Amino acid sequence: MQERFYPVTEPHLDEQDRRHLMDAFDSGWISSQGAYLEAFEELFAVFTGSRFALATCNGTTALHMALLALGTKPGDQVLVPTFTYVATANAVTYCGAEPVLVDCEEDTWNMDPARAEAALTDRTVGIIPVHLYGHPCDMDPLRDLAERHGLWILEDAAEAHGARYRDRNVGTLGDVAAFSLFGNKVITTGEGGIVTTDDERLAERMRRIRGQGMDPKRRYWFPEVGYNYRMTNLAAALGVSQLKKIDRLIAAHRQVAHWYLQELAEVPGLVMPVEREDVHSVFWLFSLRLRAAEDRPELRDELMWRLLEDGIDTRPFFHPMHTMPVYDQDGDFRVADRIARSGLSLPSSPRLDHDDVRHIAGRLIHHAEALGALPRPAGL
């Protein structure tokens, strides 16, 4: 009989979070106005090193709001990695534009800059790199590509709060960036999102879009169609509290990843996540690949079921967008296909200790060996 259940991840909530929430509750400012909203946006801007940060009700609305402010319209094409969560492609579709899918790199699993350039057309207006599982994309080639062709860059940083690329913070590497604050992210506001930018014109446009299109200088005057994408003061209160401990949470995620690498890096048949020398990954989820599942994906699925019976929750990798009925596209996506078939994410809560990680790793090895999914030592 299992003694403990290990979720893939979980919010780190404590008494400090409760105090902030109750303070907002007691103030009576529980909707989309209040002191915590302004404080959260200011603190997040400082955290990323951005001039502006605007809070929204979830990460998908953050993407949509940014795309609208960038002028994305029907007929446009936007480069999107095929290996991503569906919200990235959905937000482009909300604008009437077409997501053009790009295969990923073998080691980081992020958008491949060379394949991005090959996917350009005369209708391409922008690029959405996704910092998958907390590891930043290779941004310099993408920035060069965007500059040469007059494209904008919208970072999908939903999973990468605090990650850095060549000593620059994620959220400052493009024209605008969108973060998710869902309950399973590095920090959370329950549901929520936030956008960052250094462009004052974009920030002003996103404020109007977020608030139903109202003119900020003329109350109840709406010169354009907008959306109600605002965050509540209650959610922002939680966000302020979470930001106060974000460095500690990032350090905990990185420590969990280090322990997994200690326990699993030398196991033949397992492919570990990388951290390139010029980046600082936050390892939002510790994700790896079972090499044998590249040809036999049922091995990955059976391994996940056996781990669940031990109280160890896992997640499969995202299905690539080109395999979805709504985004079916022709093309060479062999890297994403192989990675998606063979990948799984292990429990990555910042509350785990080394004994927890050692136990999870041991059960993974045990079940993978029992399934014949790991190479047998030479001579046996």
What lies within 8 Å, CB to CB, of 149 at 6+ separation is 120, 124
Active-site residue identified among 185, 217, 244, 245: 185
Query: Are 257 and 283 a contacting pair, CB within 8 Å?
Result: yes
- The separation between the first and the last C-alpha atoms of the chain, rounded to the nearest angstrom, is 33
Q: Is 244 a catalytic residue?
A: no
**Percentages of the chain per state (helix, strand, coil), in multiples of 5:** 40, 15, 45
- Write the CA distances from 332 to 103, 131, 335, integer angstroms: 7, 21, 8
CA dist 261 and 267 (Å) reads 10
What lies within 8 Å, CB to CB, of 311 at 6+ separation is 2, 3, 4, 5, 6
- Sign of the C-alpha dihedral computed for residues 203, 209, 211 and 217 taken in this order: positive
What lies within 8 Å, CB to CB, of 96 at 6+ separation is 73, 74, 75
Burial class of 207 by CB neighbour count within 10 A (0 to 12, 13 to 18, 19+)? middle
* Amino acid letter for position 21: L
- Cα 163 versus chain centre, distance: 11
Query: Are 238 and 188 a contacting pair, CB within 8 Å?
Result: yes
CA dist 180 and 56 (Å) reads 9
What single-letter DSSP state applies at residue 1?
Answer: -
CA dist 220 and 343 (Å) reads 50
CA dist 12 and 30 (Å) reads 22
Residue 175: how many other CB atoms lie within 10 Å: 19
Active site residues: 185
